[in-house]
Amino acid sequence: MAADPAPPAPARPARGQSAPGGARIDRPIVLVGLMGVGKSTVGRRLAQRLGLPFVDADDEIVAAAGMPITEIFERYGEPYFRDGERRVIARLIDGTPKVIATGGGAFMNAATRALILDKAIAIWLDADVDTLVARVKRRETRPLLKGRDPRAVLTALAAERNPVYALAPIRIRSNASPHQQTVRAILKALNA
């Protein structure tokens, strides 16, 4: 008796092929923005809509280091983590179309930022501090918030980082609405 054939794999756009809505995706899409803005959640959903692979740079750093990010910060400090982050993102931006969610500080590194702006489609997910505070309170794994007031930290980070995130050619507001609305806004911007 013959085995049933495997179900067909989901259609994925070939390099340079038009994705849903007509966007031509010929390189990685990189999501940047503050912690809690939804880069990972939105990234997964965006990748699914586009039929592209999704990669979370933080997950790749954890896999490469063999320890959680909080432990990397505690043992080796933030500069060590940022160097590893830079190397991982450089490896991920290999010209292959995919969606990459970065950590909140990744785009602050000049070399990483230049690589993203040159070799990828950079999208800044932006949200107000109230939205970010509500989201980050759901997870206890953010080393920059450990033992600190999330509102104060996020307000300071926004003041420092938002002018740099603004270098991304696409800016999408992420608010308290469902992440699917953010995905739709990204698809619209990609098709513009």
Report the binding-site residues for ATP.
36-41, 142
Tokens of 101: 């969610």
Q: Which residues are annotated as a binding site?
A: 36-41, 58, 82, 104, 142, 161
Note whether 146 and 125 are within 8 A (CB). Answer: no
Q: Which residues are annotated as a binding site for Mg(2+)?
A: 40
Alpha carbon distance 42, 174 (integer Å): 9
Q: Which residues are annotated as a binding site for substrate?
A: 58, 82, 104, 161
Tokens of 166: 């603004």
Pairing of strands 54-56, 99-101: parallel
Q: Tell me which DSSP letter residue 2 carries.
A: P
> Angle between the 78-92 and 57-65 helix axes, to the nearest 10 degrees?
110
